[in-house]
Amino acid sequence: MTTHEWKESDDDGSIVFYRANHHAGRWSLFRRPKDESGWTPLDPPTAPELRLLLDVLQRKYQRRKVPHAHVIQVEKWLAEAESTDSEFSAG
């Protein structure tokens, strides 16, 4: 299992931690505000959350820390999420 962790600032300026696990060809994403102790699963994650993961993976890929297949897999997942979002906004 591969785990990636990073932190971002939320809209109100508070810090949010993210964790992405890749195991057996599947991704699972979690989020945790700084002042909480438990991880909340993101199921399904939104397109902006997937963009954050893709950014982390692309930077790690440039440093040869992540296989290119992981980047491709998340790019496809993001494209699916964006097409689903556009279907809901059009309908």
Q: What is the residue-level pLDDT of the chain in tens, covering all 91 positions? A: 999 999 999 889 999 999 999 999 999 999 999 999 999 999 999 999 999 999 999 999 999 999 999 999 999 999 999 998 766 555 5
Per the structure, the count of domains in the chain is: 1
84 vs 61: CA distance, rounded Å: 27
Residue 27 lies in domain: 2-90
**Whole-structure pTM value:** 0.89
pLDDT of residue 84: 83
pLDDT of residue 86: 65
Please name the residue ranges forming H helices in 1-91.
47-62, 68-90
